[in-house]
Amino acid sequence: MAISKFFSRLTPQFSGNTIMSGLAAMMSFVLTMTLANASLAHEIRPAALQISESTPGTYEAVWKQPAVGDMAIRLAPHLSSGSLDKEPTTQSLEPGKIIKRWSVKGGASLDQQTLTVEGLPESVTDVLVSVTSPSGKTITAVLRPSAPSMVLGLSGPKGLSTPAYLRLGFEHILTGFDHLLFVLGLLLLVGTNWKIVKTVSAFTVAHSITLALAALGLVQVPSALIEALIALSIVFVAYELIPRRDGTSTLTRQKPWLVAFVFGLFHGLAFAGTLSSVGLPAGGTVPALLLFNVGVEIGQLAFIAVAIGVIVGLRRVSRHLPASYGAVSTYAPAYVIGGLASFWLIERTIAAVLVP
């Protein structure tokens, strides 16, 4: 219903073969690129390795890797002692991830061992590492395709080695194309005025609430359902971007903060999905959650700042462009955002129904 309303309302607004041809070409290109990279959203989800050492050489290691059904890219953690090269003690498949556990006894101490993730340089994902020593010291770090290894320096000063969760939140929002499209839709709907502050604040409060509740295990909603609802939220915003023929103003335009808050609750649950896939460090749940949320906000504000700069720049040069630019700039954002979101909605709804 949302998709049919979007396109039925959008199409009659255009006049002129030039505009229609241009928009059709743009839409075909965007959808082709999306179809060709349909699995990208899954591939960029981070993996995680958590190791807890009770006594030197005795530890539990948990590897969590994103998966689609039972399919996953080839990644494998290795320690220089070779303790993780053996078959895992247990292995299980959960919705959206593969989990492997190793119980090591009588092995080499973790301190100063080199950790390497095989296959990481050939991927587009990151690996969040959390290691706890017998003394209670926890170090966290992010391994990347460009830097797939690290030395576990557990004998240094106590504390976090890097703000890994802050970086994880920042990178998550900047690689979350669906979240960014929703924010862009809100910005185009509200405009570059004081209302955007109120709207973004409402979105921030809403997703912070559900992020905390879900990350702490107080609320649980199937991830496939949440992803489909996020796509639906983008379709809704794209629909609202189309000007009314009668010039009336909808509730969304009058109170965009309300829509931002309601849909922000769903987006927060999706943010929590990333944290659930990597886990929160023992004894550092609240700081890690706070750092992740701050990282999301920094990334979101950075995107908004860039988007506003682009919008202001386009406004300044629009006077030198052909007259048809006005019609294209009015409807093209709704057409492209709504088309992408409609594709995601169909894809994710099918996944929610067919994938166990």
Can you give the residue ranges of every domain in the chain? 2-37+170-354, 46-162
| pTM of the entire predicted model | 0.66
Q: Which residue has the higher pLDDT, 218 or 23?
A: 218
pLDDT tens-digit profile of 195-213?
888 888 899 899 889 988 8
User: Cα torsion for 139, 144, 150, 154, to the nearest 10°?
Assistant: 0
For the packed helices 164-175 and 177-190, what is the interaxial angle rounded to 10 degrees? 70
Q: What is the longest distance spanned by two Cα atoms in the chain?
A: 77
pLDDT at residue 334 in the model: 86
What pLDDT digit, counting tens, does each position of 127-180 carry? 888 888 888 777 878 888 888 998 888 775 544 444 678 888 888 888 788 888
pLDDT over threshold 60, residue 2: no
Q: What digits encode the pLDDT tens for the residues 65-115?
A: 877 666 777 889 999 999 898 899 998 887 777 899 999 998 888 888 999
Q: Is the pLDDT of residue 11 over 50?
A: no
CA gap 278, 255 in Å, rounded = 36
Q: Find out whether 52 and 132 touch, Cβ atoms under 8 Å.
A: yes
Predicted confidence at residue 36, as pLDDT, reads 39
What pLDDT is stored for residue 250 in this prediction? 73
- Higher-pLDDT residue of 70 and 24 is 70
Distances (CA, A) of 302 to 131, 158, 205: 31, 32, 18
- Report, as an integer, the average pLDDT of 31-41: 42
Most confident of 144-158, 234-248, 257-271, 277-291: 257-271
b vs e for 130-160, b when ≥16 Cβ sit within 10 Å of the residue's Cβ? bbbbbeebbbbbbbbeeebebebebeeeeeb
Residue 51, classed as helix, strand or coil, is strand
Intra-chain end-to-end CA distance of the chain, in Å: 25
**Of the listed ranges 35-44, 57-66, 172-181, the one predicted with least confidence:** 35-44
Give the position of tokens 């290109």: 29
**For residue 119, pLDDT beyond 50:** yes
**Average model confidence (pLDDT) across the chain:** 77
What's the pLDDT tens digit per position in 281-320? 666 677 778 888 888 889 999 999 998 888 888 777 766 6
